Amino acid sequence: MRVGYVCGMKKILPRAAYCISFATGILLIFIGFRFLLDPTTAEAAFGIQVPTHGNYSFHYIKGIRDLAVGLLTIVLLLTKELRALGWMMLCMTIIPTTDLLIVLNSAGHQTDKLYAHLTAVIICLGMGGYYLGRRALKL
């Protein structure tokens, strides 16, 4: 029974990691486009409100950053460059960690806005470690 369980996990875990990583890439692309196309709504969903006076430069910077990271995640995943994906996710953990701290330290932050950033930290650390520990993805 134990052998069957281990064999089953060997098939499920790579697929689950693939799906989580793919969904993360797609969500980052969505968030990036949202910051580029509708910065006010994206800002509210991010968890901070900053008086912009119509200047959305920082929103566009965040949008292009998220779009680029999402695209890179998808490309590395589809080309099966899993070691590079693992390193990228571990290194990019600094982004959601910093985002989390920015929201946490903003006046009047809403606790529910922290969960997305915390989830992103966990995904980056978990998937980064997973891909660095794997040799090849077989789907």
The rounded distance, in Å, linking the Cα atoms of 139 and 137 is 6
pLDDT per residue of the chain (139 residues) written in tens, 0 to 9: 454 455 566 789 899 999 999 999 999 999 999 999 999 999 888 887 778 888 889 899 999 999 999 999 999 999 999 999 999 999 999 999 998 998 888 877 778 878 989 999 999 999 999 999 976 545 5
Q: Which 3 state secondary structure label does DSSP give 2? A: helix
CA distances from 4 to 47, 73, 130 (A): 45, 32, 22
**In the chain, where are the structural domains located?**
2-133
CA distances from 32 to 27, 54, 80, 91 (A): 8, 19, 23, 19
